[in-house]
Structure 1
Amino acid sequence: MATEYGQRSGQGYGSHGTFDLDERLDERRRGLRRLPTALRAPLEARHWREFGYVLLSLPISILLFTYAVTMVSLGAGLLITFLGVPVLAGALAGCRGFGALERARARRLLDLDIADPEPLRMKKNGPMAWMGAVLKSGASWRHLLYALLHLPWAVFSFVVALSFWSYGWALLTYPLWFWLFPMYGGGGGLQLYGDEHHRIYLDNPFEITVTALVGLLFTLATPWIVRALTLVDRGLVHGLLGPSRLATRVVELESDRGVVVDTAAADLRRIERDLHDGAQARLVALAMDLGLAKEKLTEDPQAAARMVGEAHGEVKTALQELRDLARGIHPAVLTDRGLDAALSSVASRCTVPVQVDVDLPARPAAAIEGIAYFTVSELLQNISKHAKATWAAVDVWRVENRLMLQVVDNGVGGADASGGSGLAGLAGRLDAVDGILVVDSPAGGPTRITAELPWRG
């Protein structure tokens, strides 16, 4: 019976033990969050991750420095023969491997979101092409520079962090272990001063309390000192082991070029669709009507005249559609008179009253002017269709070398530039020319959308 009861008790404990442990951990975390930041910093996981990063940096940097100096020196010494080239390329490739380890360590312990550097660019396959790509890659030489610079900094940060941490906790816990000195060390406690005549020990309650308070100050300061030390490590990893600014810019330009190409293709498809479904269809119907009118001209002149009149109306409609299409491609008023007149024309077609204020000392580049026009045009169309507003305002001005646009309405709000919305496409189009779209549209309104474009006049 006792065995059976013990088994049942164990089963009950096992089924609820994990749940109880999680509750206790949650309560402990909530209690820790109630402490001021300065007091809870030494106990936070972030501090221990950063402290672990600093401690690991010393052995890793020693290994990396030794490898880099040895291999590069060997490769440079062998450059008088062909063997120096593959040895030097192998040394740089090894530094890149160490760099991958350092980036992973920074992501895990420092929460540093760092991208991998640009890959090797090889026009051909084979060992010779690989060696040439490694030696010509700027990222490879930046990894070598990191290997050489990180060791002295790792030594300094290791000594500072470990000294503050060990002295802080040692002094803070001194009231718990000072009895070791008189019992096993033959002294009265921690010795502050000593010579042939007298010695000063920390051995009375007041001195022990002051020592613990000093240790508390050291302990509380250690996380911030370690965090300041790791800021330099973040800079080294980000600047030397990540992608270069030039490579990042090239990637951005390639992405922007893809956006421009996709946008141009979408515009061409839209124009083709508008022509096919609009003006072209009306012209085809017009040609058929005129053909029928021609056949009836001798038999039934009145019916023919009526059909010609209907065809005349279709011609007017087709012409209006072609004008709208031409205005959508690039309005003549924008080319002739600039943004002020063009935006006023767009505002007049909006379903709500729109106040337009354009304050520009000169005209920007034609491409930027066109993007600004179509941006405001699309935003006003959104107001007409979705905002349920009673008024809107458009402001255009220049700040240094940037063209600023702002469209405001008092509608229902809730506009969102994320996902596949029209605002997201508009933001991508602006980004392709180094522009920015900022949407401020709380539920209930008002909506304020600001666009920033380069001037390029």
Structure 2
Amino acid sequence: MDTAYAPPPRGSRVPVGLRAPFSGRTWREFLYLLLSLPIAIVMFTYAIVVIALGAGLLVTFLGIPVLAGGLAGSRALGGLERLRARALLGLDVAEPEPVRPSKPSLMGWVGAVLKSGASWRHLLYSLLHFPWALFSFIFSVTFWTLGWGLLAYPLWRWTFPAYLDQPGIQMWDDGHGNGLSLDAPADIVVTSGAGLLLVLAGPWVIHGLTQMDRVMVHGLLGPSPLATRVSQLESDRGVVVDTAAADLRRIERDLHDGAQARLVSLAMDLGLAREKLAEDPEAAAKMVDEAHGEVKIALQELRDLARGIHPAILTDRGLGPALSALSARCTVPVTVTVDLDHRPAAAIEGIAYFTASELLQNVSRHARATSATLDVWRTADRAMVLVSDNGRGGAHTEAGTGLAGLAERLDAVDGVLLVDSPVGGPTCVTAELPWRG
């Protein structure tokens, strides 16, 4: 919910509407509107000069580098505007995508500046902001000063008879001494009351005017949606690479410390059994029996490891049977409901499975629950996985937790992890994944 002012502090008896005219935010936004006009005049003049000079010199070779330099200057002015918006409006806009020359030379830089959409958006901001800054300056100053002036009318009414030979504010005069002046007590009260209404409405008017400035700064001086999406995809790719590397290290560790070590020991035992086969057949047979048991254990470890990579039942039979088998290994009784009309893509199916697996592991290890539910369904273009339990609650996605890592991995595929876990329980964790059939 976008509101101009926060609710009153605990224990405050002053309503928000009465505190707003004296709020620091109101005066910061008013200062922003006051500064916008002179700054906009400078930026508009600069933009006109850049366009005129660059276009006029295009018939020569100088026009292109002059225009590129002008665009670079617009980017610098835009940086100052972002700082001003951050300081006075509390609007934190990221820097646009930097200029990346194709080759380290002057002409490479000139070409990169001219091809940069962010540079042209900064120049466009200089042109469009001026008429809006002019309007918002005049409207806000008139509205705000008129409100405070009328509210304080009883304090300065004396200036009319003292210096203007009038009893008060003159509403109209026919030129023959007949007119209406606000000098009666009732007139003074009504005038001051009208000023009070304007003062109380002023913060909301000023905030509404600065909303357009927020839109312009965010849309024209910030990164483009495409650049933001590319940056997000690069970050998500990094998360996926890190996760894959961590999984590979885990598999290598499990193989080295588990099945590999057991197979090495098994090979040594079989070698000793072969040496003893001629001189002590009974001891050799006993060692072969022990080796047979080691083989079974090694096979089970390999099956568990393969199940952790990608369970065969998931590939063969789908999410329903795979999640049922998964829930059977949970230390808490789990009720599984899978409502899918058909199977999603293998990648989404695998992510949903391992998401449910990690959430059920959290239930087993941390929840102290007596029962849990696992529901999977499809809604529109999203696959939903919901794990709930009646445990102690308190789960969160703060940095360093397993849920934080899970949230990062889901975000890498345009998924979302929602955690509702008040202290004392119950806990409901919902994972949303894009549906790809």
TM range (shorter): over 0.9
> Equivalents in 2 of 1:32, 1:243: separation in Å?
42
Q: Report the equivalent of 1:355.
A: 335
Within 5 Å, which residues of 2 pair with 1:119-138? 119-138=98-117
Instruction: Tell me if the contact between 1:33 and 1:40 (Cα under 8 Å) persists in the aligned partners.
Output: no
SS at match of 1:356: strand
Aligned residue for 2:58, secondary structure, equals: helix
Which deviates further from its counterpart, 51-60 or 173-182? 173-182
Give a deviation string over 1:335-369, Cα, whole Å, max 9, x none: 11110011011011111111100001111111011
**SS where residue 453 of structure 1 aligns?**
strand
State the 1:126 CA deviation: 2.3
Q: Deviations over 1:344-398 (max 9, x none)?
A: 1101111111110000111111101100000101111121222221111100011
Alignment-derived partner of residue 62 in structure 1:
41
Q: Which residue identity lines up with residue 26 of structure 2 in the other structure?
A: H
Match of 1:231, SS state, is: helix
Q: Which deviates the most, 309-318 or 193-202? A: 193-202
Match of 1:93 in 2: 72
2:294 counterpart of 1:307: no
Is structure 2 residue 325 aligned with structure 1 residue 345? Answer: yes
Q: Deviations over 1:198-233 (max 9, x none)?
A: 121111111111111111111111111000000000
1:436/1:452 contact within 8 Å kept: yes
Counterpart in the other structure of 1:181: 160
Deviates more, 1:196-205 or 1:445-454: 196-205
In the alignment, does 2:1 pair up with 1:34? Answer: no
Q: What does residue 5 of structure 2 align with? A: none
TM-score under structure 2 length normalisation: 0.96
Matched position secondary structure for 2:337: strand
> Structure 1 residue 450: deviation in Å?
0.5
Partners of 1:440 and 1:296 in 2: CA distance: 63
Task: Write out per-residue CA displacement over residues 243-292 of structure 1, whole angstroms, 9 at most, x where no aligned residue.
Answer: 11000000000001111111111111111111111111111111111111
Residue from 322, 325, 330 that aligns with 2:305? 325
Aligned to 1:421: 401
Partner of 1:192: helix, strand, or coil? strand
Question: 1:373 aligned to 2:353?
Answer: yes
3-state secondary structure, aligned to 1:351: coil
What residue identity is the alignment partner of 1:60? I
**C-alpha separation in 1, matches of 2:332 and 2:375:** 16
For residues 337 and 77 of structure 1, the distance between their equivalents in structure 2, rounded to whole angstroms, comes to 71
Distance (whole Å) between structure 1 residues aligned to residue 133 and residue 305 of structure 2: 65
Give the deviation of 1:35 after TM superposition: 1.4
1:207 equivalenced with 2:187 (yes/no):
yes
Partner of 2:89: 110
- The correspondence of residues 280-291 of structure 1 with structure 2, limited to 5 A, is 280-291=260-271
Give the secondary structure class of the aligned counterpart of 1:79. Answer: coil
Whole-angstrom CA distance in 2 between matches of 1:196 and 1:339: 91
Q: Which amino acid aligns with 1:77?
A: G
Superposed displacement of residue 98, structure 1: 0.9
Pair 1:401-2:372 in alignment: no
Q: Which amino acid aligns with 1:360?
A: L
CA distance in 1, matches of 2:129, 2:210: 12
1:83 to 2:30 alignment: no
Letter in 2 for 1:106: A
In the TM superposition, what is the alpha-carbon distance from 1:196 to its structure 2 partner? 2.2
The offset of 1:236, in angstroms, is 0.3
- Asked whether the 8 Å contact 1:32–1:40 carries over to 2, the reply is no
Separation (CA, whole Å) in 2 of partners of 1:270 and 1:304: 36
- Counterpart CA distance in 2 for 1:73 and 1:409 is 68
Q: Using the alignment, how far apart are the partners of 1:297 and 1:154 within structure 2?
A: 98
Question: What are the ranges of 5 or more consecutive residues in structure 1 without an aligned counterpart?
Answer: 1-28
Residues 65 and 147 in structure 1, CA contact (< 8 A), matched pair in contact too: yes
> Is residue 196 of structure 2 the alignment partner of residue 219 of structure 1?
no
Query: What is the identity, as a one-letter code, of the residue corresponding to 2:174?
Result: D
1:26-80 CA deviation, whole Å, 9 max, x = no partner?
xxx9899531111111111100000000010000001100000111111011111
Which secondary structure state, in structure 2, belongs to the residue aligned with residue 80 of structure 1? coil
Residue identity matched to 1:281: A
Aligned ranges 1:225-264 → 2 under 5 Å: 225-264=205-244
Amino acid in structure 2 at the alignment position of 1:432: A
Q: SS at the partner of 2:57?
A: helix
Q: Distance in 1 between matches of 2:385 and 2:307?
A: 21
Partner of 2:131: 152
What CA distance in whole angstroms lies between the structure 1 residues aligned with 2:376 and 2:203?
A: 49
Give the paired residue count.
429
What is the DSSP-based 3-state SS (H/G/I as helix, E as strand, rest coil) of the residue aligned with 1:299? Answer: coil
5+ unaligned residues in a row in structure 2: which ranges?
Answer: 1-7
1:388 partner letter: R
Provide the residue aligned with 2:172 in structure 1.
193
Per-residue deviation, 1:443: 1.8
1:357 is paired with a residue whose SS is: strand
Between the aligned partners of 2:421 and 2:186, the Cα distance in structure 1 is 62
Q: 1:317 and 1:400 mapped to 2: Cα distance?
A: 45
Q: Which amino acid aligns with 2:361?
A: Q
Q: Structure 1 CA distance, aligned partners of 2:358 and 2:308?
A: 11
Q: What letter is aligned with 1:403?
A: A
SS of residue in 1 equivalent to 2:388 = strand
* CA contact 1:347–1:356 (8 Å) conserved in 2: yes
Question: Identity over aligned residues, as a percent?
Answer: 69
The match for 1:388 is 368
Deviation at 1:447, TM superposition (A): 1.3
